[in-house]
């Protein structure tokens, strides 16, 4: 069964469009279950009708015509109960609806199973037989497994289908405006622009579709790549042939044959001649060939699929090594990728980057944080996005709602243009607050700092009126290199940041790699990276890396004395003690060498539940605490901050997080240690007020959030914030807390700043 399932899923995933995907499903399921009919009905999201989309066994004329309204027919019973329905004689069922054109009255046995994706019944897969019988338990289980496995693939194919409808026509796409691609809000704002797909090197499946005009040049490039792989294989074969057995040599011969084969090469050339670029043509040909092998019953022949893919990868590496093959970034670039990395973001010229869409990630993953730092609207976790087909298309990125519109209609585009203009006006209005302090109407002053990690956004943080840097993520300069930066390279980067802000404070966090932040040159392979070797755990295990970073920070601060050092991922006091020993050692070494280095202020990040419970003990050891609500939320709620599947459970307004924050702040204050929040929560205007009610001493956020937070602080009082907290602390559910805060803010006349204003009235800066 597993084998059958694997094959069906492979075929469905490779399908060109929804129609093809569904016809594969009905054909294969009918075959495997030896039934007389297999059909799929899908929900039409506009009308809520269930439409017969594919069938093997029913009258083909009925496909696309039979539409069942809510409550109509046995199908609707499956929809309503969202459970399988197994009956021996469908015609006896009280909800049975006779539909002459399907010809299904000949069949008695009926098994219908819902296809559910993200809690919604997308459709129903039905099998029928003439005989009057109930389907066996194992048959039901098989169909349930098929439906569960296929729901994601169908959702994906549905999206591709919607896009292709517009692609085939005049690219107007007004027939699917209502069907935005759903993702998660990554960074607030709206962007309209042209998609530029970016992808990791040497990954055939990541290659996007792209068209070219210079066909001869593309053919020459492709043939040169093939020749280069042929030469490599010949050289390899020669070098290894004395050591190889006859069978092993046969493998090399098979590779050489394939490379010389008409099919692999000529099919690719044919595709290039139709205007596809070489990499995309190669991807299609390799997938086509590999699929043929995949379908073979003989396991040995099936293995050959991997050879074809391997060969494809080798040719691709050659294609990519000569030149980048990437067209120039469009003026209004919307960067699109399966997984957008810091490097990919950093490579786009700042003035061209308008929006970001990542198929993976969630609102608190680092791509989202970086986008927010750069003030670029982003949608993340758009898992159904057919990335490879996006290149060059016009897109709207709605970073407030986490939605993407592909090839929008002129009407929708005009509506978003209007929103964009309104947003610019709002930002311009807020800009007037730049040089004013964040002070409540009853006189409480809350310093607002900026979070950064890129040198290029230090300037934008300065312009936003930040009073210093509350979190400089030093892993970013580490990520955009091919090796660890030297001590001097680091010193120069840190010096620029410290100098730009002096005499205002700058908090440099020591290296926080691990988790989802991997350095290309320092791979860490773990089953549970977020519970593994991360942050301070790595740097304490590698004192040479840690000392070099600490020395670079200390040397960068000479004469400025505005350096604060922050230690990430602390989960026990001994880690702080050990880090302080190394810091003293680094300073002593520099002083011994004749430099005059002031002692920096040192802080600990509270982002792990154990640190929350030990806030007071930690506060006793250092000069300040900084709460990392991104990780604290993830670890307290046991919800991976990067996993879109559970993103709806990730909520910094969960009562457990709120109570932990209160406890941390109280613990720090018992030691008279100031405490700040540098997680994304600080940049949410409403949450910032709640934190103020708890007695937070300062807030650090992305530069783009600063003016909004300042505005709400200046329009609220400390007493109001304390009252709000008192009410929130009586509630035991995140949604109730959200409603309570929203109501209080609406009543205080701050609703406008909490909502971004929108077409649907649903835009919210405060998700
Ligand atoms: C946090 O965890 O809240 C934080 C600020 O650190 P990072 O997002 O870099 O993990
Ligand atoms: Mg963190």
pLDDT tens sequence across 685-715: 999 999 999 999 999 998 888 988 999 999 9
Distance 653 CA to ligand 2 centre (A): 17
The Cα angle at residue 718 between residues 716 and 721, in degrees rounded to 5? 75
| Ligand 1 and 515: CB distance under 6 A | no
DSSP string, 263-311: HHHHHHHHHHHTTB-HHHHHHHHHHHHHHHHHT-SSHHHHHHHHHHHHH
Q: What does pLDDT average to over the chain? A: 87
Q: How far is the CA of 629 from the centre of ligand 1 (A)?
A: 7
Question: Phi then psi for 316, rounded to 5 degrees?
Answer: -60, -45
Whether 531 shows a pLDDT value over 80: the answer reads yes
| DSSP summary character for residue 614 | T
Q: Is the distance from the beta carbon of residue 369 to the nearest atom of ligand 1 less than 6 Å? A: yes
* Residue 168: pLDDT over 50: no
Q: Which ligand number lies closest to the CA of residue 475?
A: 1
Neighbours of 435 (CB within 10 A): 7
CB atoms within 10 A of CB 399: 30
Q: What percent of the chain has pLDDT over 70?
A: 91
Residue 762 has pLDDT above 50, yes or no: no
Indicate the length of the chain as a whole number. Answer: 767
Q: Which of 201-205, 567-571, 586-590 bottoms out in mean pLDDT, i.e. has the lowest?
A: 201-205
Whether residue 646 has pLDDT greater than 70: yes
**How many angstroms is it from 283 CA to the middle of ligand 2?**
38
Pocket test for ligand 1, best of 516, 567, 607 (most atoms within 8 A of CB): 607
Residue 677 and residue 228: Cα distance in Å, rounded? 55
Query: Is 591 among the residues known to form the active site?
Result: no
Choice from 449, 535, 568 to test ligand 1 binding pocket (greatest atom count within 8 A of CB): 568
How many alpha carbons fall within 13 Å on the CB side of residue 576?
23
The per-residue pLDDT for range 66-104, each reduced to its tens digit, is: 999 999 999 999 999 999 999 999 999 999 998 888 888
Q: Which residue, by CA, sits nearest to atom 10 of ligand 1?
A: 631
Ligand 1 pocket, residue 630 CB under 6 Å: yes
Looking at ligand 1, which atom is closest to the CA of residue 680?
Answer: 3
CA of 220 to the centre of ligand 1 (A): 48
Q: 67 in helix, strand or coil?
A: strand
506: helix, coil or strand?
A: strand
Contacts of 471 (CB under 8 A, 6+ apart): 449, 451, 452, 507, 509, 566, 626, 678, 700
pLDDT of residue 397: 95
Please tell me which residue, 6 or 280, carries the higher pLDDT value.
280
What is the best residue among 371, 530, 605 to mutate for testing ligand 1's pocket, by most ligand atoms within 8 Å of CB? 605
Residue minimizing CA distance to atom 3 of ligand 1 = 628
Categorize the per-residue pLDDT at 767 as very low, low, confident or very high, splitting at 50, 70 and 90. Answer: very low
366 is known as an active-site residue: yes
Structure tokens at 142: 């098989």
- The burial class, CB within 10 Å (0-12 / 13-18 / 19+), for 62 is middle
pLDDT for 233: 78
Specify the ligand 1 atom closest to the Cα of 634. Answer: 2
- Domains, the chain, ranges and CATH? 2-171 (3.30.450.40), 183-199+330-416 (3.50.30.10), 211-321 (1.10.274.10), 439-754 (3.20.20.60)
- Which pLDDT score, from 0 to 100, does residue 247 have? 62
- H/E run at residue 619: helix 615-621
Model confidence at 166: pLDDT above 50: no
111 bridge partner residues: 86, 127
Of 176, 318, 654, 678, catalytic: 678
Give the position, in ligand 1's atom list, of the atom nearest the Cα of 681. 3
Please indicate whether residue 677 or residue 425 has the higher confidence score (pLDDT). 677
The order of strands in the sheet holding 85-87 is: 67-68, 50-56, 37-43, 120-129, 109-117, 85-87
Q: What was the pLDDT predicted at 560?
A: 96
Cα distance between residue 743 and residue 247, in whole Å? 75
Q: Has residue 185 got a pLDDT over 60? A: yes
Is the backbone peptide bond immediately before 503 cis, with ω within 30 degrees of 0? Answer: yes
Catalytic residue among 156, 176, 289, 366: 366
Question: In testing the pocket of ligand 1, which one of 631, 640, 661, 687 has its CB within 8 Å of the most ligand atoms?
Answer: 631
Q: What is the structure's pLDDT at 240?
A: 64
641 CB less than 6 Å from ligand 1? no
C-alpha of residue 12 to centroid of ligand 2, in Å: 39
More confident residue, 151 or 450: 450
Q: Report the share of the chain in percent with pLDDT over 90.
A: 57
Instruction: Give the pLDDT band of residue 450 (cuts 50, 70, 90).
Output: very high
Instruction: Please name which of 3, 95, 1, 108 lies closest in space to residue 50, comparing C-alpha atoms.
Output: 95
Q: CB of 628 closer than 6 A to ligand 1?
A: yes
What does the pLDDT read at residue 370? Answer: 81
Measured in Å, residue 246 CA sits from the centre of ligand 1 at: 56
């Amino acid at each position: 069964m597993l084998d059958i399932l694997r094959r069906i899923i492979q075929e469905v995933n490779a399908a060109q469009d929804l129609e093809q995907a569904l016809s594969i499903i009905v054909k294969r399921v009918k075959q495997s279950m030896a039934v007389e009919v297999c059909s799929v009905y899908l929900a039409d999201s506009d009308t809520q009708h269930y439409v017969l989309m594919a069938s093997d066994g029913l009258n083909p004329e009925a496909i696309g015509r039979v539409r069942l309204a809510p409550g109509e027919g046995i199908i609707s019973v499956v929809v309503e109960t969202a459970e399988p329905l197994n009956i021996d004689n469908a015609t006896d069922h009280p909800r049975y609806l006779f539909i002459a054109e399907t010809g299904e009255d000949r069949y008695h046995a009926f098994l219908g199973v819902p296809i559910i994706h993200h809690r919604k019944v997308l459709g129903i897969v039905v099998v029928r037989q003439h005989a009057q019988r109930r389907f066996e338990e194992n048959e039901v289980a098989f169909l349930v497994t098929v439906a569960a496995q296929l729901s994601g693939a169908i959702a994906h194919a549905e999206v591709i289908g919607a896009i292709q409808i517009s692609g085939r026509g005049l690219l107007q796409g007004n027939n699917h405006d209502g069907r935005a691609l759903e993702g998660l809000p990554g960074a607030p704002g709206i962007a309209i622009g042209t998609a530029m797909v970016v992808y990791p090197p040497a990954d055939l499946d990541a290659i996007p579709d792209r068209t070219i005009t210079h066909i001869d040049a593309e053919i020459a490039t492709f043939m040169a790549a093939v020749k280069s792989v042929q030469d490599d294989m010949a050289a390899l074969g020669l070098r290894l042939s004395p050591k190889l057995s006859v069978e092993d040599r046969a493998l090399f011969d098979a590779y050489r044959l394939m490379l010389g084969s008409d099919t692999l090469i000529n099919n690719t050339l044919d595709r290039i001649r139709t205007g596809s670029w070489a990499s995309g043509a190669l991807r299609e040909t390799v997938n086509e060939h590999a699929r043929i092998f995949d379908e073979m019953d003989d396991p040995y022949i099936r293995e050959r699929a991997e050879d074809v893919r391997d060969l494809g990868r080798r040719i691709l590496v050659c294609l990519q090594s000569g030149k980048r093959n990437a067209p120039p970034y469009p003026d209004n670039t919307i960067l699109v990728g399966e997984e957008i990395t810091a490097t990919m973001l950093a490579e786009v010229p700042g003035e061209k980057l308008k929006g970001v869409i990542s198929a993976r990630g969630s609102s608190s993953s680092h791509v989202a944080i970086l986008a927010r730092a750069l003030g670029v609207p982003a949608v993340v976790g758009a898992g159904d996005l057919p990335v490879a087909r996006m290149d060059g298309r016009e897109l709207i990125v709605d970073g407030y709602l986490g939605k993407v519109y592909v090839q929008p209609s002129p009407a929708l585009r005009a509506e978003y243009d209007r929103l964009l203009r309104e947003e610019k006006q709002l930002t311009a209005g807020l800009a007037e607050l730049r040089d004013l302090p964040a002070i409540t109407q009853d006189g409480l002053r809350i310093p607002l700092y900026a979070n950064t990690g890129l040198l290029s956004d230090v300037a934008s943080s300065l312009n936003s009126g930040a009073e210093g840097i509350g979190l400089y993520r030093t892993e970013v300069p580490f990520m955009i290199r091919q090796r660890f930066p030297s001590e001097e390279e680091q010193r120069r980067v840190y010096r620029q940041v410290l100098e730009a802000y002096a005499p205002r404070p700058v908090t440099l966090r020591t290296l926080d790699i691990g988790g989802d932040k991997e350095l290309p040159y320092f791979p860490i392979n773990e089953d549970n990276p977020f519970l593994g070797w991360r942050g301070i755990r790595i740097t304490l295990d590698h004192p040479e890396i840690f000392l070099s970073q600490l020395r670079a920070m200390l040397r960068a601060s000479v004469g400025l004395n505005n350096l604060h050092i922050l230690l990430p991922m602390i989960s026990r006091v001994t880690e702080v003690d050990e880090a302080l020993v190394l810091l003293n050692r680094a300073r002593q070494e520099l002083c011994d060498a004749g430099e005059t280095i002031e002692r920096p202020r040192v802080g600990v990040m509270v982002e792990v539940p154990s640190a929350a419970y030990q806030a007071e003990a930690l506060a006793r050891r250092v000069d300040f605490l900084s709460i990392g609500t991104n990780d604290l939320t993830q670890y307290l709620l046991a919800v991976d901050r990067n996993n879109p599947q559970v993103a709806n459970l990730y909520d910094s307004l969960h009562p457990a997080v709120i109570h932990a924050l209160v406890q941390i702040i109280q613990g720090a204050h018992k030691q008279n240690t100031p405490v700040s929040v540098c997680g994304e929560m600080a940049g949410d205007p409403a949450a910032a007020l709640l934190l103020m009610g708890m007695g937070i001493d300062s807030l650090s956020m992305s530069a783009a959030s600063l003016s909004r937070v300042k505005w709400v602080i200046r329009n609220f009082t400390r007493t109001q914030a304390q009252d709000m907290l008192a009410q929130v602390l009586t509630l035991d559910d995140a949604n109730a807390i959200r409603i309570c805060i929203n109501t209080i803010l609406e009543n205080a006349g701050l609703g406008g700043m909490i909502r971004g204003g929108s077409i649907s009235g649903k835009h919210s800066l405060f998700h």
